[in-house]
């Protein structure tokens, strides 16, 4: 890819069952375990939790870009994210995402919705998942269509 700004590198062994993952810079080291809710032992993280954190962090950064362009204060934004794993009915699995965006400094509901809608067009995670998984967005409690 031309003009790559950054490449993250990680190494994983053992998968989600009894695995371990880490980044090449040593900043992230995690034990991977199947969550108790799925019949596993728990006691570690899992790909869905990592994706939930990554997507929310990326989306909040995109919201900052959009906020600066619109001259709107998004500096105190918070995002609660959920990533669901479901069977696809064909022997595989699909993900679903919910991002509940809170913008305390944006009191106008229409403005908050537009900021989140625009951030969804800027965020690399949104662009990577668009058309592949369901992503539900809310802005200050209002659904974003």
pLDDT tens digits, one per residue of 34-76: 999 999 999 999 999 999 999 999 999 999 999 999 999 999 9
* 74, 101 Cβ separation under 8 angstroms: no
* 72, 111 Cβ separation under 8 angstroms: yes
Positions in the chain whose pLDDT score sits under 50: none
- The values of phi and psi at residue 61, to 5°, are -65, -40
In three state form, how does the secondary structure of 8-43 look?
Answer: CCEEEECHHHHEEEEECCCCCEEEEECCHHHCCCCC
How many Cα atoms are found within 13 Å in the side-chain-facing hemisphere of 2? 0
Q: Which of these CATH numbers, 3.30.300.20, 3.40.50.12280, 1.10.1200.10, 3.20.20.140, describes 47-144?
A: 3.30.300.20
- Position 71 scores a pLDDT of 98
Residue position matching structure tokens 């990577």: 128
Please give the Cα distance from 121 to 116 (Å, whole number): 9
- CB atoms inside a 10 Å sphere around CB 113: 21
Helix (H) or strand (E) holding 3: none
- Position 1 scores a pLDDT of 65
- Position 2 scores a pLDDT of 80
Domain ranges (residues) in the chain? 1-45, 47-144
> What's the CATH code, domain 1-45?
2.20.25.10
Helices (H), 19-141: 47-70, 109-122, 124-129
């Amino acid at each position: 890819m031309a003009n790559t700004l950054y490449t993250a590198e990680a190494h994983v062994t053992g998968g989600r069952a009894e695995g371990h993952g880490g980044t090449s810079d040593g900043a992230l080291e995690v034990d991977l375990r199947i969550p108790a809710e799925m019949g596993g032992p728990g006691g570690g993280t899992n790909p869905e939790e990592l994706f939930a954190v990554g997507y929310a962090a990326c989306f909040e950064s995109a919201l900052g870009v959009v906020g600066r362009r619109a001259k709107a204060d998004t500096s105190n934004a918070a995002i609660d994210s959920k990533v669901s794993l479901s069977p696809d009915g064909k022997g595989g699995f699909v993900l679903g995402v919910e991002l509940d965006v809170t913008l305390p400094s944006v009191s106008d509901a229409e403005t908050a919705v537009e900021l989140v809608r625009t951030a969804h067009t800027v965020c690399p995670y949104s662009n990577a998942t668009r058309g592949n998984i369901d992503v539900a967005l809310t802005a200050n409690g209002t659904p974003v269509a």
